[in-house]
Homo-oligomer: A and B are copies of this chain.
Amino acid sequence: MRSSLSLVAAIALAVSSTAFAATPSGTVVPQTRIPDAAFAQVGALRDKSLQDATAWQVLESLTTEIGPRLAGSEADARAVRWAEAKFKALGYDKVWLQPVTFPKWERHGESAAVVGDHAQPLTLTALGGSPAGTVEAEVVRFADLAALEAAPAGSLTGKIAFVDYRMERSRDGSGYGPGSRVRSRGPSAAIRAGAAAFVMRSAGTDSHRNPHTGITRFDDGLTPIPSAALSVPDAEQLSRLIALGKPIRIRIALDCGWDGTATSHNVIGEVTGSHRTLRNEVVVIGGHLDSWDLGTGAVDDGAGVAITMAAGHHIAKLPKAQRPARTIRVIAFANEEQGLYGGKVYAESQKAAIAAHQLVAESDFGAGRIYGFNTSAAPHAQAAAARIAEALKPLGIEALAKGGPGPDVGPIAALGAAWAWLGQDGTDYFDLHHTPDDTLDKVDPAALAQNTAAYTVFAFLAASADGGFGSAPKAEAAKP
């Protein structure tokens, strides 16, 4: 969901802003405005957030005391209790849990090796959703997903398919689309060609012996095969071995798989708004509480949880009279990694309250500095969005006509909630994402504080606005 009027254009418009704007249907709605009193508070709030260590302390606590927290695991349940207690300790007015049930996937062990004349171990990790299995077979290399998808049915019978696609590095993470498509579609393509197993070069931009996991899926009607990602150096090693020109056999052994269902929880903390009626409306910010099991989920997505928990905390600490009109709702979403389960449950639960969602935004792209801001604001709220952008500018953030809702607020945005994008610099994100290397030491405390300041300013101003940003339930029929 993207507004047809870009924020950049809106900033120009804001200079000569009219008091009213026409909706697409022709009715005239008042321009949303952010009160001057709110702007007067923002400088101090921003500066205080920049100096404050709360986000770092929250992130350190989560990644240290809980560590990895695969959805449905014992540690995931521990993380839910942790989040509940942390919201309370941070002065949130209301803390509640929303149950989220999903299929449970577990990893017990994995190994791989080249066998034969060049025998040597290979470092890989099972993709989330892979079945268990041990396969020893010749490897057939494909340069990319399209090449594998072009393999005729039966052409890989008794073989292991290997897609050696190299993901590109970029600030906005745009290289992850083609990179993660290999992960999500590769296994099914391999099965169609008859393969006994699937391996891929990790969807990542680093060059360490740390493979990148992530969820995969198998198309209906196909029998799943063991599917795994090699670390980048291992993928390059395998390619060099294949380039020797002799058949190369590898053995992969994955001990993992689905085991019933589990129930975890969205953990929700609220800082109640100051206005008697508007406090029933919410600005939603958050991150996801679950992580992959290989690292400690620092950049994915402990950072998002920490940034938004701390932002709410900074607003909670304000004198009651200075609180924004609306409620700040911070959500630590359950099981994002395996299919946005928490985000979908939340959206479903809010179907009757779409219009009460002022704006929704998720931090789920690491802990790099925020460089861009955008919203899906309706025309009547573009000038207000532009003023938020103005308040973010001292943090090095510019209005950009790009972005979208984060993954867990995607489902509610699809139902009609207006979204904001606080775009983080993800240049290094895919060095760490879904790997054992996603640990606390990779986070820059100053960048984390910049993120927290941005979310604090954004949430405060959005919750203080006179008027909304265009959230409205979409007719079911209007869905694509």
**Interchain CB contact under 8 A, B207 and A119:** no
**Interchain CB contact under 8 A, A439 and B64:** no
Query: Once the chains are docked, how many angstroms separate the CA of A120 from the CA of B74?
Result: 10
**Interchain CB contact under 8 A, A240 and B60:** yes
**Interchain CB contact under 8 A, B119 and A75:** yes
- Listed stretches A38-46, A65-73, A151-159, A272-280; interface member: A65-73
**Interchain CB contact under 8 A, B240 and A64:** yes
Residue of B nearest to A207 (CB): B441
Query: Once the chains are docked, how many angstroms separate the CA of A414 from the CA of B232?
Result: 43
Q: Give the residue of B67, B121, B207, B209 whose beta carbon is less than 8 angstroms from that of A118.
A: B67
A74 partner residues in chain B, CB cutoff 8 A: 119
Least distance between A212 CB and chain B CB atoms (Å)? 13
Q: Give the residue of B114, B210, B233 whose beta carbon is less than 8 angstroms from that of A441.
A: B233
Interfacial residues of chain A within 215-271, with CB under 8 A of chain B in the complex: 232-233, 236-237, 240-241, 244
**Interchain CB contact under 8 A, B66 and A439:** no
Least distance between A138 CB and chain B CB atoms (Å)? 17
**Interchain CB contact under 8 A, B233 and A67:** no
Interfacial residues of chain A within 116-147, with CB under 8 A of chain B in the complex: 117-121, 123
Q: How many subunits of this chain does the assembly comprise?
A: 2
The answer to whether the Cβ of A351 comes within 8 Å of any Cβ in the partner chain is: no
Residue of B nearest to A69 (CB): B120
Residue from A117, A118, A435 with most neighbouring chain B CB atoms (10 Å):
A118
A207 partner residues in chain B, CB cutoff 8 A: 441-442
The answer to whether the Cβ of A312 comes within 8 Å of any Cβ in the partner chain is: no
**Interchain CB contact under 8 A, A237 and B118:** no
Residue of B nearest to A237 (CB): B64
Q: Give the residue of B64, B121, B437 whose beta carbon is less than 8 angstroms from that of A68.
A: B121
The answer to whether the Cβ of A304 comes within 8 Å of any Cβ in the partner chain is: no
Residue of B nearest to A439 (CB): B233
**Interchain CB contact under 8 A, A120 and B68:** yes
Least distance between A205 CB and chain B CB atoms (Å)? 13
A186 partner residues in chain B, CB cutoff 8 A: none
**Interchain CB contact under 8 A, A67 and B114:** yes
Least distance between A439 CB and chain B CB atoms (Å)? 4
Least distance between A210 CB and chain B CB atoms (Å)? 6
Question: What 1/0 mask marks residues of chain A from 347 to 366 whose CB sits below 8 Å from any chain B CB?
Answer: 00000000000000000000
**Interchain CB contact under 8 A, A439 and B121:** no
Interfacial residues of chain A within 434-466, with CB under 8 A of chain B in the complex: 435-437, 439-442
**Interchain CB contact under 8 A, B439 and A118:** no
Interfacial residues of chain A within 50-80, with CB under 8 A of chain B in the complex: 60, 63-68, 74-75
Least distance between A206 CB and chain B CB atoms (Å)? 9
Q: Give the residue of B65, B114, B237, B296 whose beta carbon is less than 8 angstroms from that of A439.
A: B237
A320 partner residues in chain B, CB cutoff 8 A: none
**Interchain CB contact under 8 A, B68 and A439:** no
Q: Give the residue of B67, B114, B437, B440 whose beta carbon is less than 8 angstroms from that of A209.
A: B437
With A74-B119, A119-B74, A208-B208 already in contact, the answer to whether A441 and B64 are too (CB < 8 A) is: no
The answer to whether the Cβ of A194 comes within 8 Å of any Cβ in the partner chain is: no
Query: Once the chains are docked, how many angstroms separate the CA of A74 from the CA of B113?
Result: 14
Residue of B nearest to A109 (CB): B111
The answer to whether the Cβ of A295 comes within 8 Å of any Cβ in the partner chain is: yes
**Interchain CB contact under 8 A, B120 and A67:** yes
A436 partner residues in chain B, CB cutoff 8 A: 123, 209
A120-B296, A237-B439 known; 14 other A-B pairs, CB under 8 Å? A60-B240, A65-B117, A66-B118, A67-B119, A67-B120, A75-B120, A123-B436, A207-B442, A209-B210, A209-B295, A209-B437, A232-B441, A233-B440, A237-B296
Per CB-CB distance, the 5 closest pairs between chain A and chain B, nearest first, are A67-B120, A209-B436, A233-B439, A64-B240, A207-B441
A-B contact pairs, 16 of them (CB 8 A): A60-B240, A64-B237, A64-B240, A64-B244, A65-B118, A67-B114, A67-B121, A75-B119, A120-B296, A123-B436, A207-B442, A208-B208, A209-B210, A209-B295, A233-B440, A236-B440
